[in-house]
Amino acid sequence: MTTLQKKPAPQSFTLQGEFLGFFEPGNRAKYLQLATPKGAVFLSVSPQAQKTLPLELGYNQMIQVLVHSQLKTKTGQTNLKVVQINSLSSF
């Protein structure tokens, strides 16, 4: 008999840093690069966040991203996905 493992609930956290750009396969902003005090990170951008990107987002601009973290039970890897992007610069 096989036991079903429950998927752990996603955890959310925010990151702040300098926006270094998008990595765009095709015409979508699927990944973004963010410079943080601990180094640069690449993060996957959710389809919902891709549709609501701030128009004034510029290179080296300070941003805050809301990230959902989910553990993949089969592989033990953590999946990070940006669900919201906010500009921290005031014009």
Q: Residue 27: give the domain boundaries.
A: 11-87
Query: Tens digit of pLDDT for each residue in 13-53?
Result: 999 999 999 887 766 678 999 999 999 999 999 988 888 88
3 occurs within a structural domain: no
Q: What is the pTM of this model?
A: 0.78
41 occurs within a structural domain: yes
6 occurs within a structural domain: no
pLDDT over 70 (residue 2) = no
Question: What pLDDT, on a 0 to 100 scale, did the predictor assign at position 1?
Answer: 47
Domain count, the chain: 1
Rounded CA separation 2/57 (Å) = 49
- Other CB atoms within 10 A of residue 21 CB: 14
- Which residues lie below 8 Å from residue 35, measured CB to CB, with a gap of 6+? 17, 18, 20
